[in-house]
Amino acid sequence: MSETPSTSFSVIHLTSSEGQVPIPRHSNVTHPVVAKRISFYKSGDPQFGGVKVVVNPRSFKTFDALLDNLSRKVPLPFGVRNISTPRGRHSITRLEELEDGESYLCSHNRKVLPVDLDKARRRPRPWLSSRSISTHVHLGSAAALVPTTAPGMLRAPRRLVVFRNGDPKTRRVILLSRRITQSFEAFLQYLTQVMQWPVAKLYATDGRKVPSLQAVLLSSGAVVAAGREPFKPGNYDIQKSLLPARLPGVSHRVHRKSKPTLEKRKSGNWKVSVMTSDFPDAGTSSQVYIVLYGECRSSVPIYLYGRDGARFQAGHKDIFTVTIGDIGKPFKIRIGHTNSGCSPSWHCKGIELQNTNSGEKFYIPVRRWLAQEREDGEICREFPVLSKGQPGLPVTKYKVYITTGELWNAGTVANIYLSIYGEKGDTGSRKLSRAKSAVKFLRGQIDTFFLEAVNLGNLCKIVIGHDGLGPGNGWFLEDVVVRDPTTNHEYAFFCHRWLDEGEDDGRIVREVYARDNTVFSVRKKLEVKKKETWAAESWKFMKGNTLQFYNKLTGGFVRLHPDGTVDALGEQTDRYGLFDVIFNKGNICIFQSREMRHLSLALDNGVASGGALTELRVLYQPNRCALLESALCPGHTLFVDRHGKVADESSSGYAELSKEFVVFVKGIFLNSAVVILATSLCQALCLQPSGTCTGAGDQSEQSYWRVHRVRSGICMFESVKNARMYLRIKDGQCNGTGTGDTDCHFKIKRNLENASVSLESLKSPGLFVGLQPDGQAKPVIYTKAENVCFYPRVIQFGRENPMGMSATPNQGEEKIHVPRYQEDLLPKSTARCPSPLALEKESRHSYSPETLLAEDKWKVLVLTGDTGTQANVTLWVYGDEGATGPISLTKDSPEQLFLPGQKDEFQVVLRSIGEIYKIRIGHDGTSGKPEWSLQTVTMEHMKSKKTLNFIANVWLSRNQADGDLVCELPVMKEGEPVFPLVRYHVDVYTGQMKQEATAPEVSLCLYGERGDSGLRLLHRSNMPVRFQRGQIEAFQIEAVSLGNLQRVLLRCEASDTSQGLYCEKIVVKEASTVSESVFTCGRWIPFMSQGLRHSEIELYCQGED
């Protein structure tokens, strides 16, 4: 950010003529051949606005040449290695496959994340950023006024002056537009055409490099275009190029007598004498500028250039004549330099101003250093113009407090610039370089600066921003407070927004208006914080959730006893401390005792009652604690004393009472739940495409984690968007590249003080998932600091899963299209009960060193047939006392597994499952080789050497045999299976409701006396188009006999409810019997219930036909 020109004009007249300007060379222009114009976008990044590339045989001779070119334009960790269609379904491998006018996605590997191209094309461009404008600008045309700006303000111009490096006479004025600023490289190409010679680099007029489009917009309205050569100093005077065609207010009509106009121009001629002090090192090599403020308006920055390099030397007086138009009587001057050259420090003695028309003289004594290493480090200062030997306005040293937000990665290393506006002008854009803090603009930090300027009177607004340079330059600004020491008045500027090209609206410069006083600002901040806290915590109070209320003062949970009394002394496992949300309207709820259905929590002297007295209003505080207030009697709040008894606010000292409660939701980490691990009110732990994890991610689908419960209190977390990528701690790193092994097992530590959880590595006890200030995840030691606290938020509740349902998402599970806070609320007797075999609760495979027993270790040998696979292979093992699975069969070099004719060996641990009677083995159908020919599976007990042989000889492929990706194999005894393989015939009745033309993904799991079949995709049907209106769809599921069928789980994933399935009923029968099991449904799936979307439902057997 630098000085922004106003509409007044300024011309500097040098004392001698300038040299001849060399004639620019014109490059030859050739006509382009017929070419394809293609747009390329970044995989998974809707903030990337895309690049347009012209592809023809002359520009790209090979496909690799195009990839190398795109690698320089699309920011990817390992460059562009893959190009695919917008939905990521088809990869492009040849130039001939690209189509003119189409859009494609770039990625650095085969995994492509789709992008909403409409959103990417609407991304705010850099030129939309606001810029500081002088408060004394007056417009001649009412059409130029912008309603959103204050009176007298002008929106930033979009014109840019481009000089040729070393040749100030060669310049062009261009208008920034969307067409020429698609990317920085495209902008340089456009300048090459305009300047008619190759442009490779841009510099500011003071010699600083301009590395990006945003830096162009933050320049002083002019840049120097260069080729490969370094910057060449020169008299790059932007004022002549920015002169208006006519003065504001002058008519289009031509006057015969132009004398009044000439007189107006002459009234703006000034003689400026600048005196440099006479002691050593007082001179400067930098470019000096001044800004004059008058009663009518202010001038633009006037650069006082010298041609012979002898300007502003120690003890010298330099004289300039400038034309700035009629600004009226001057009252202050701003003088500064660009801090360029080998010795930029400067000590100015004084400045004399003389109006050449009226002869009026003004003197400004300076006698100050303008140097970053001297005095206060300022290179720009303001001084009042003396009138009759006295200053008209005092010089004020404003104290500026800048608060960086508490979001992760909120801090910045970029250079921050601030301009303050008042009723008497502005300070100009000042770089905030010196603060009391050793490191500036850290997360949650308040930095203090002093800004010296001629007093501005009452302040009205600020313009604050950064230059976008440096790694991690984005910044979350909370607020700015400016204190005027002359009046002791504080002006508060509340922002609470990102200044980041990749966040919010993409702007890195903001215009903020003053609040009436700091008290109002504090109240505003508190209100905003409360609203954000409620938005983050309101999911807990959805109807059907089970809650607990913890009180910090008593260290206990709220209980509702059978006699109706209430206290806050309960343990976490106390059954009287569980409350179901049975009514929810906004923040008003009814909390019913889970143990005693006829009682609800109320504020009637601690006695529960029904009716309106049980309606409680939940008021969240910024510390994530809730107040429970009577909806019937506002102001009547639940208080407890330090003994846990319900008390009145006036019954004892306020320090002895507490009204804040921490709210916990039961059943968050059930198996297959989808959760967000929030790191702040609006951020969450997110897996990035590179495999690293950051706590500064958005609370969107990119931050969804699927819970895989290993056993009670121990879970794994798999990214929903990136299947088979698990959160892990390994080798001193915390990332999302786990494969589901023991490095991915985490112990859930609940923090009662704030309802958060901490994730401790089970393999490396004492190490927790933590966050650095920039949000990057790393292993840390638990210190109760906030960097190890995650606030779980349930998107989809889990359940006690049946064995055999995959721990890795299938095609349906990967897509969670809209936020969901609950799974289907089944009757309490069935909603969260374990399966008949109680397989999941304690039998999940565990690799904890403390629980590994030699008796539990098995060796698994898998023999592949003629066709191998690179997909992820998974094993489930069933016994008469339980089951274990899914077990991922993988090693450090997965590409060497399951090759044709190869036998692969693995070691697994089976915990207390009893006598084995069957296994299920399969793959997920991913990778370039999803088909697999499986011959045999052999399991050998490591200690007893007992061997189980399973003969398979099956194809596991969507395109071969039955089209299944999994198969079940029974244990053989004396040549006969313990339980036979059964082919179940499944008929799905779709009913007469109108269906969509698209076929949704439908899966089914069968449950019986002997476990379950696992979730199977209903892939091959007897109908040409599956699941249409009035059809009876016939499918087959092969599994080891389940005995009498008891229930089925039906799942349907669709992009929205209108594309789902209407199921009338499901009929299942064994091939060898005539009896049928009927499961009545009679509803749409997915379906909406209580405002939530549900993709699956359990159906119970209605009898046999």
* Structure confidence by residue, pLDDT tens digits, 17-73: 333 333 333 333 334 446 788 999 888 777 777 888 888 887 788 888 888 888 878
Mean pLDDT over 934-948 rounds to 90
pLDDT, residue 330, reads: 87
CA angle in degrees (0–180, nearest 5) for 290-294-295: 165
Q: What pLDDT does 419 receive? A: 92
Average pLDDT estimate for 982-990: 90
Asked if residue 252 has pLDDT above 60, the reply is no
Instruction: Read off the pLDDT of each residue in 978-1005 and give the average, rounded to a whole number.
Output: 81
Binned at pLDDT 50, 70 and 90, residue 222 comes out as confident
The pLDDT assigned to 1018 comes to 86
Residue 724 scores a pLDDT above 80: yes
- Write down the pLDDT at residue 652: 55
Residues 136/138/144/145 CA torsion (nearest 10 deg) = 60
Q: How far apart are the first and last CA of the chain?
A: 80
Residues paired with 768 in a beta bridge = 760, 780
Say whether pLDDT at 637 is over 70: yes
pLDDT of 912: 72
1059 — pLDDT class (breaks 50, 70, 90): low
Peptide bond into 57 cis (omega under 30): no
Which pLDDT band, with edges at 50, 70 and 90, does 1073 fall under?
Answer: confident
Highest mean pLDDT among 83-97, 295-309, 748-762: 748-762
**What whole-number distance in Å separates Cα of residue 413 and Cα of residue 415?**
7
* pLDDT over 90 (residue 258): no
In percent, the amount of the chain with pLDDT more than 90 equals: 25
Number of H helices, E strands in the chain: 8, 73
- Residue predicted with more confidence, 461 or 149: 461
pLDDT bracket for residue 249 (50, 70, 90): very low
pLDDT in tens, 861-886: 999 998 888 888 999 899 888 788 88
- Give the residue with greater pLDDT, 1002 vs 148: 1002
The C-alpha atoms of residue 184 and residue 217 are separated, in whole angstroms, by 12
Q: Is the peptide bond before 886 cis (omega within 30 degrees of 0)?
A: yes
Higher-pLDDT residue of 177, 510 = 510
1087 pLDDT higher than 70: yes
Give pLDDT, residue 58: 77
CA atoms within 13 A on the CB side of 261: 12
For residue 454, what pLDDT is reported?
92
Q: Are 763 and 746 in contact (CB under 8 A)?
A: no
pLDDT winner (highest mean) among 689-693, 715-719, 1019-1023: 715-719
- What is the reported pLDDT for 152? 32
Q: Per-residue confidence at 649, pLDDT binned at 50, 70, 90?
A: low
Highest mean pLDDT out of 335-339, 680-684, 908-912: 680-684
- Which residues have C-beta within 8 Å of that of residue 666, sequence separation ≥ 6? 545, 546, 547, 548, 578
Q: What is the mean pLDDT of residues 622-627?
A: 91
Would the pLDDT of 448 be above 90? yes
Phi and psi torsions of 530, nearest 5°: -65, -40
Please state the φ and ψ torsions of residue 668, each to the nearest 5 degrees: -70, -45
**How many percent of the chain have pLDDT more than 70?**
80
- Residue 879 has a pLDDT of 87
Q: Which residues contact 174 (CB under 8 A, 6 or more apart)?
A: 159, 160, 162, 180, 190, 191, 194
Beta strands across the sheet bearing 639-641: 646-647, 639-641, 657-658
pLDDT score, position 218: 65
Distance CA 908, CA 419 (A): 66
Q: pLDDT by residue (tens digit) across 474-507?
A: 899 999 999 999 988 889 998 989 998 878 888 8
Distance, CA of 34 to CA of 626 (rounded, Å): 67
- Rounded CA gap, 22 and 1, in Å? 32
What integer pLDDT is reported at residue 450 of this predicted model? 92
Predicted local confidence at residue 578, as pLDDT: 94
* pLDDT for 861: 94
Segment 550-563 mean pLDDT: 92
For residue 619, the model assigns a pLDDT of 93
Query: How far is the C-alpha of 380 from the C-alpha of 169, rounded, in Å?
Result: 28
Confidence of residue 794 (pLDDT cuts 50, 70, 90): very high
Q: What is the DSSP string of 303-337?
A: EE--SSS-TT-TT-EEEEEEE-----SEEEEEEEE
Q: Are 798 and 783 in contact (CB under 8 A)?
A: no
pLDDT score of 696: 87
pLDDT at position 842, please? 34
Q: Has residue 1091 got a pLDDT over 70?
A: no
Question: Can you tell me the mean pLDDT for 257-285?
Answer: 71
The per-residue pLDDT for range 839-857, each reduced to its tens digit, is 333 333 333 333 333 457 8
Contact 780, 790 (CB under 8 A): no
Nearby residues of 828 by Cβ (< 8 Å), 6 or more positions away: none
Tens digits of per-residue pLDDT, 387-424?
766 777 889 999 999 999 988 888 898 889 999 999 88
- What pLDDT is attached to residue 788? 92
pLDDT, average across residues 690-714: 89
The per-residue pLDDT for 884 is 84
Helices assigned H by DSSP within 313-418: none
786 DSSP assignment: G
371-393 core/surface letters (b: 16 or more CB in 10 A; e: else):
bbeeebebbbbbbbbeeeeebbb
What's the sign of the alpha-carbon dihedral 452, 453, 455, 461? negative
- Band (pLDDT 50/70/90 cuts) for residue 154 is very low
Whether the Cβ atoms of residue 1015 and residue 804 lie closer than 8 Å to each other = yes
Secondary structure, 3-state, 787-853: HHCEEEEEEECCCCCCCCCCCCCCCCCCCCCCCCCCCCCCCCCCCCCCCCCCCHHHHCCCCCCCCCC
**Strand ranges of the sheet holding 269-276, from the earlier edge strand across to the other edge:** 11-13, 317-323, 269-276, 346-355, 361-370
Q: Is the pLDDT of residue 650 over 50?
A: yes
How many alpha carbons lie under 13 Å from residue 787 in its C-beta half-sphere? 21
Please, what is the average pLDDT of the chain? 79
The residue to which tokens 């933050």 are assigned: 218
User: Which residue reads 């506002």 in tokens?
Assistant: 634
Residue 133 has pLDDT above 50, yes or no: no
pTM: 0.51
- pLDDT average, residue stretch 104-116: 81
> Is pLDDT above 80 for 749?
yes
pLDDT of residue 122: 62
Q: Is 125 exposed, middle or buried (0-12, 13-18, 19+ CB in 10 A)?
A: middle
- Number of other residues whose CB lies within 10 A of the CB of residue 556: 21
Is residue 801's pLDDT more than 70? no
| One-letter amino acid for residue 612 of the chain | A
Mean pLDDT of 339-362: 86
